[in-house]
């Protein structure tokens, strides 16, 4: 998607206005209805992006680490008499716990939560634009 230099200011203003109105669906719908087809397609291309919800990946590793650490605690309790199994279980439990602490301390969790919330708003905008574009294209085909 390429935008000329003279249109970039108006497009950035349009994007910021739509992003601010995304919390209220009725106001967002009115704002999107007032746009032309070209503006809707540009806006859809901008908000569709390839952003992922990064908090899912962190949550996945936390759940996996918790499950594996729970299994190690179970094995440690079950095979307390065997020194080799106990050492391996304690070592693996320490590795899992350290990995969980590294995730909690290194990743900016609040930033990722904000990104996931913004991605949800953008998905809402894109779905509304899809509905409006479908209606407008069917009107054009009827004519």
Q: pLDDT digits over 49-97, tens only?
A: 655 555 566 677 777 777 877 877 787 788 778 888 778 877 877 887 7
Q: What is the dihedral of CA 40, 44, 45, 48, to 10 degrees?
A: 180
DSSP state of 137: H
Closest CA to 132 of 32, 19, 24, 20: 32
> Does 44 share its domain with 68?
no
> Does 22 share its domain with 59?
no
pLDDT digits (tens, 9 = 90+) for 20-45: 888 888 888 888 888 888 888 888 88
The pLDDT value recorded for residue 70 is 80
Q: Which domain holds residue 25?
A: 5-49+128-142
> Does 45 share its domain with 64?
no
Total of domains in the chain? 2
Burial grade of 96 (CB within 10 A; 0-12, 13-18, 19 or more): buried
pTM of the entire predicted model = 0.53
CA-only gyration radius of the chain, Å: 25
The pLDDT value recorded for residue 73 is 78
């Amino acid at each position: 998607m390429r935008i000329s230099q003279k249109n970039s200011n108006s497009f950035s203003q349009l994007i910021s206005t739509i992003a601010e109105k995304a919390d209220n669906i009725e106001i967002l719908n009115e704002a999107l209805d007032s746009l032309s087809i070209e503006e809707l397609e540009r806006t859809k291309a901008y908000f569709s992006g390839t952003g992922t919800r990064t908090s899912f990946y962190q949550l996945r590793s936390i759940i996996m680490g918790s499950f594996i650490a729970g299994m190690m605690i179970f094995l440690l309790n079950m095979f307390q008499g065997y020194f080799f199994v106990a050492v391996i279980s304690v070592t693996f439990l320490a590795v899992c716990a350290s990995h969980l602490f590294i995730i909690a301390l290194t990743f900016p969790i609040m930033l990722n939560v904000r990104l996931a919330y913004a991605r949800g708003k953008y998905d809402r905008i894109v779905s509304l634009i899809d509905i409006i574009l479908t209606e407008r294209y069917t009107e054009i085909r009827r004519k």
